[in-house]
Amino acid sequence: MDDSARIREIYERISEAAKNWPPTTLSYYKGQPFKALIAAMLSAQTREEQTFLAMNNLFALADNPDDMLKLTDEQITEAIRPVMYWENKVKYVRDIAQRVAANGGVVPQTVDELMEYKGVGWKVAVLTLAVGYGRTEDITVDVHVGRIGKRLGLVNPDTKQPPKINEELKQKLPREYWPHWNGLMVQFGREVCKPTYPQCATCLVRDLCPQIGVVQTGPRSFKDAAYV
């Protein structure tokens, strides 16, 4: 089997299995750029369940820039306290809401413009465009995408910078996979190819995986860390 056939088989098997796995937090905000931007920013360095909790808290109070600006810092703090670095993210929520409101309620549609916002780095910008606008110029790279890409032999093991991992993946993956790759890898990384103890013995793509860099495998009873 050549590499493109191998990649296609990996994608198809994981896509099929993912239908039965819990959705990612960001998937709830498809086609909703403002919510996608806030959720992506809050998700940084945070477990998915904590992001989900904070999102529900915050969007129950306000789900658009104008209403969010009416909230006090104390209200925002109480809502997003489950996420990491919430002290900074309170300021980022307010900055994002102010900028989007000043822009007529429209979230920017380029990575460069989004990265001018406080708390918005490359990953958050790409994720916002993918989820909020369905834009696919890049592949969102997080810890799952990087780790699994290396184990599957799609990314050089020494590559660390997310934009470089994105470029390497884009060389390998068909364009139609780009908007879905991050969500699939998040789900696959939570369920099977876990950070510390990947479930290689029962993995649905074991026969297609060189297991590059894997030093120990599951099963293991505790739950590995799961980040958006």
Binding test (CB under 6 A) with ligand SF4, winner from 41, 198, 227, 228: 198
Binding test (CB under 6 A) with ligand SF4, winner from 58, 120, 203, 228: 203
Q: Is 55 an interacting residue with respect to ligand SF4 (CB under 6 A)?
A: no
- State which residue, 88 or 196, has the beta carbon closest to ligand SF4: 196
Task: Name the helix (H) or strand (E) containing 56.
Answer: helix 48-61
Q: What distance in Å separates the CA atoms of residue 228 and residue 178, rounded to the nearest whole number?
A: 17
| Candidate list 30, 89, 91, 123, residue with the active-site label | 123
- State which residue, 98 or 199, has the beta carbon closest to ligand SF4: 199
Q: What distance in Å separates the CA atoms of residue 159 and residue 88, rounded to the nearest whole number?
A: 29
Binding test (CB under 6 A) with ligand SF4, winner from 130, 165, 173, 193: 193
Query: Do residues 219 and 170 make contact, with C-beta atoms less than 8 angstroms apart?
Result: no
Q: Quick one: DSSP state of residue 174? A: -
Q: List the helix and strand counts (H, then E) for the chain.
A: 11, 0
* Residues between 131 and 190 that touch ligand SF4 (CB under 6 A): 151-152
Query: Do residues 193 and 148 make contact, with C-beta atoms less than 8 angstroms apart?
Result: yes
Q: How far apart are the first and last CA of the chain?
A: 32
Question: Does the annotation mark 123 as catalytic?
Answer: yes
Binding string, 87-126, against ligand SF4, x = CB under 6 A?
Answer: ----------------------------------------
- State which residue, 17 or 200, has the beta carbon closest to ligand SF4: 200
Minimum CB–partner distance for residue 183 and ligand SF4 (Å): 16
Q: Is 200 an interacting residue with respect to ligand SF4 (CB under 6 A)?
A: yes
Q: How many residues does the chain have?
A: 228
Q: Is 205 an interacting residue with respect to ligand SF4 (CB under 6 A)?
A: yes
**Three-point CA angle 51, 153, 26, nearest 5°:** 20
Q: What distance in Å separates the CA atoms of residue 42 and residue 222, rounded to the nearest whole number?
A: 25
What residue ranges bind ligand SF4 (CB under 6 A)?
151-152, 192-193, 198-200, 203, 205-206, 209, 211, 214
The catalytic residue positions are: 123
